[in-house]
């Protein structure tokens, strides 16, 4: 049985009380900005109002308004709901101090299509990182309509502005919890990785963090007209103007209902109206890929990669795997300039694959593997650039044909394969050695900037986490990758 005691720390806004469980110091629901409702709604993050006395931070703080997953996805992806308005909060897991030495820090930016997720999800518990000497911080940020609407009279990318404020708070305060403010790694998956790419592209990225980990998310942003399609669709459904005043007059629940209807049927692979980072704003002044491939962020070490069969998370639970036909591939060929020779090569390399699997393989490479390879190549070409480390998660889940799908690596990175959400995706017999080794590589990167395999070079080394040899493979599937330009 775990032994729990209480502990407290002084922050810039006041003292917070946490708990110590099995040697790990936990501070949950620590505010880094004021509640973004009332007069603060659809405004940049505002300062926390200082408090007197001791604030109870022994339980998770409020979670951002969001919808639970549906359409079969709920079997594999959970939702946490903690009521309250103070959603801009941090969850902190800190190792016990060792002779005054400060621990490396990881700040976790969760995924969820910019519309779901929170630091209260059990699969994101940072205990194992703290037990291995890393101070782990999970950050909440505004989601969906609250964080990524494109509204007249309101700044774009408010959720991204929240992340920036959280990172600034960490720089100023994390030493009090035993963390080293000069060794901060920002780490995210899916939409979290997309937002990290945007942060990495900022001119002052080095003032926010020192290293970056991007899992299954490419540098991306959309023009305001495209990014605002969901907002306009919601406004039409609600019978209001797409403006700050009109949206601020509506409850979060009404916005969520309109959001559900406006985004019905959308997936990251097949497309549809979805929240996205908006180009041309203060937080995303240039397209992140353009900025990063021309030298932005090149002084910051980066670890990034994707899963071999990303598409299966959306195609299997929804039944899309069997519904996709050749027409979908023909349309994709026309839209993205995919040559018939490329399709023939992918088909030849996957004997027995269904049309849906072929479409998924093409989409995974188009949306993730190829952009990340381009990013690694561009960073390599910058004189004196910091190293890039590339991985591919290839272990295949036996559950429901998920294979090496999107988000499967999370239980392994967090070394939480016994967590209910991780078990739902990977099954009860997930290889523990793979979790131990992958987690240890992420810890090494946070501590030293080197995860333990060769940095990107002309040989294109990729660490293949397959659960067997976990070998470093030079230029995997190079013939296919070379088909994309």
The domain in which residue 362 lies consists of: 4-481
- Across the range 456-474, mean pLDDT stands at 98
- Could you report the per-residue pLDDT of 235-275, keeping only the tens digit for each? 999 999 999 999 999 999 999 999 999 998 888 777 788 99
Structure-token pair, residue 125: 């518990």
Confidence class for position 276, pLDDT limits 50, 70, 90: very high
Confidence class for position 460, pLDDT limits 50, 70, 90: very high
Model pLDDT, residue 100: 74
Domain count, the chain: 1
The larger pLDDT score, comparing residue 270 to residue 190, is at: 190
Please report, for the domain that includes residue 385, its CATH number. Answer: 3.40.50.1820
**pTM above threshold 0.95:** yes
Q: Is 406 a catalytic residue?
A: yes
Model pLDDT, residue 99: 63
- Could you report the per-residue pLDDT of 81-123, keeping only the tens digit for each? 999 999 999 999 999 876 679 999 999 999 999 999 999 999 9
- Across the range 356-361, mean pLDDT stands at 96
- Could you report the per-residue pLDDT of 135-183, keeping only the tens digit for each? 999 999 999 999 999 999 999 999 999 999 999 999 999 999 999 999 9
Number of residues that make up the chain: 485
> Residue 96 and residue 92: Cα distance in Å, rounded?
13
**Which is the catalytic residue, given 146, 165, 309, 310?**
310
Contact 446, 130 (CB under 8 A): no
Model pLDDT, residue 4: 67
**Is 60 exceeded by the pLDDT of residue 284?**
yes
**Which is the catalytic residue, given 60, 287, 406, 439?**
406
- Across the range 418-444, mean pLDDT stands at 97
Q: Is 6 a catalytic residue?
A: no
Confidence class for position 427, pLDDT limits 50, 70, 90: very high
Model pLDDT, residue 97: 74
Model pLDDT, residue 1: 44
Among candidates 290, 416, 312, which has minimal Cα distance to 361? 312
**Which is the catalytic residue, given 13, 113, 149, 190?**
190
The mean pLDDT of the chain is 96
Model pLDDT, residue 149: 97
Model pLDDT, residue 3: 58
- Could you report the per-residue pLDDT of 316-339, keeping only the tens digit for each? 998 999 999 999 999 999 999 999
């Amino acid at each position: 049985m775990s032994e729990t005691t209480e502990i407290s720390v002084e922050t810039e806004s006041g003292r917070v009380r946490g708990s110590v469980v099995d040697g790990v110091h936990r501070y949950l629901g620590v505010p880094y900005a004021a509640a973004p409702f009332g007069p603060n709604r659809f405004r940049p993050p505002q300062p926390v109002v200082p408090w007197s006395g001791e604030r109870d931070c022994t339980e998770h703080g409020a979670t951002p308004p969001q919808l639970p997953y549906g359409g079969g996805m709920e079997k594999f992806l959970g939702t946490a709901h903690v009521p309250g308005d103070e959603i801009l909060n941090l969850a902190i897991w800190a190792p016990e101090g060792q002779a005054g030495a400060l621990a490396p820090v990881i700040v976790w930016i969760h995924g969820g299509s910019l519309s779901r997720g929170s630091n209260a999800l059990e699969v994101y518990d940072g205990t194992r990182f703290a037990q291995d000497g890393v101070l782990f911080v999970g950050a909440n940020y505004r989601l969906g309509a609250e964080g990524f609407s494109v509204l007249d009279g309101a700044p774009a990318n408010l959720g991204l502005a929240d992340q920036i404020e959280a990172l600034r708070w960490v720089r100023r305060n994390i030493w009090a919890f035993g963390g080293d403010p000069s060794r901060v790694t920002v780490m995210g998956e899916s939409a979290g990785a997309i937002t990290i790419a945007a942060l990495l592209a900022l001119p002052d990225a080095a003032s926010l963090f020192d290293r970056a980990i991007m899992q299954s998310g490419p540098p991306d942003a959309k023009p305001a007209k495209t990014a605002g399609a969901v907002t306009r669709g919601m406004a039409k459904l609600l019978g209001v103007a797409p403006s700050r005043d009109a949206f601020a007059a509506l409850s979060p629940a009404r916005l969520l209902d309109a959001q559900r209807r406006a985004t019905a049927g959308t997936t990251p692979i097949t497309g549809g109206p979805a929240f996205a980072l908006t180009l041309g704003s203060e937080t995303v002044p240039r397209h992140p890929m353009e900025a990063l491939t021309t030298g932005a962020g090149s002084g910051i070490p980066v670890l990034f990669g994707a899963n071999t069969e990303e598409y299966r998370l959306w195609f299997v639970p929804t039944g899309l795997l069997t519904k996709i036909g050749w027409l979908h591939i023909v349309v994709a060929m026309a839209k993205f300039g995919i040559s018939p020779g490329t399709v023939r090569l992918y088909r030849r390399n996957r004997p027995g694959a269904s049309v849906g699997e072929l479409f998924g393989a093409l989409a995974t490479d188009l949306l993730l593997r190829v952009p990340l390879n381009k990013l690694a190549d561009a960073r390599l070409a910058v004189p004196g650039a910091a190293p890039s480390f590339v991985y591919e998660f290839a272990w295949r889940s036996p559950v429901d044909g998920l294979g090496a799908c999107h988000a499967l690596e999370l239980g392994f990175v967090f070394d939480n394969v016994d967590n209910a959400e991780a078990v739902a995706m990977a099954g009860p017999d997930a290889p523990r050695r793979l979790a131990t080794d992958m987690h240890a590589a992420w810890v090494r990167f946070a501590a030293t900037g080197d995860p333990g395999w060769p940095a990107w070079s002309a040989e294109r080394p990729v660490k293949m986490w397959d659960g067997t040899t976990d070998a470093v493979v030079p230029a995997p599937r190079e013939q296919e990758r070379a088909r994309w330009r």
